[in-house]
Structure 1
Amino acid sequence: MSKAENKPKFEEILAKLEQSSENLKKENITLEDALKNFEEGIAYYEACSEILNNAKQKIETYSKE
């Protein structure tokens, strides 16, 4: 199994980010749960951003060729 197969896909990470966001909007969320969801959301955001930046770099590289 290659490294790419072990990595979660962009769509999976984005879905987790959206779920963390939805969890934060709940009225009955505890402070501890809110903090946990916020921290997870930041990690998911950073993972999505990294994937998008890598894709952008590849596109720019291919466009120059």
Structure 2
Amino acid sequence: MPRKKSPPDFEKTLAELEALVEKMEQGDMSLEESLKSFERGIQLTRSCQQALQAAEQKVEQLLEDHGEPEAFDNPDAG
């Protein structure tokens, strides 16, 4: 049975996307390279969005299961 592909690491994906954008902004790419990079950027953006949505759903589920967190009193503040 094939193993399920694990989701890419959010921070690595975001770093790759940022590097790609920086490279594209330099303007030294051919049209074909730019199109390939743009396509890869769309894939990376979607991956990041999915990871953020999954994290948001997890937080919402935790809050639903355990209630809203209470604010902590900071005795050193004031």
In the alignment of these two chains, the number of paired residues is 63
- Three-state SS of the structure 2 residue aligned to 1:28 is coil
Q: Which runs of 5+ in 1 are unaligned?
A: none
Aligned to 2:38: 38
Taking only aligned residues, the RMSD between alpha carbons, in angstroms, comes to 1.6
Identity value in percent: 37
Greater than 2 Å deviation, 4+ residue runs: none
Asked if 1:8 corresponds to 2:4, the answer is no
Q: Is the 8 A contact 1:20 1:37 kept in 2?
A: yes
Q: Which runs of 5+ in 2 are unaligned?
A: 66-78
Offset, 1:3: 5.1
Offset, 1:16: 0.8
Q: Structure 1: how far apart are the matches of 2:62 and 2:38?
A: 36
User: TM-score scaled to structure 2, two decimals?
Assistant: 0.72
Q: Deviations over 1:17-60 (max 9, x none)?
A: 11111121112211011111100000000000000000000000
Asked if 1:20 corresponds to 2:20, the answer is yes
Asked if 1:55 corresponds to 2:55, the answer is yes
User: TM-score scaled to structure 1, two decimals?
Assistant: 0.85
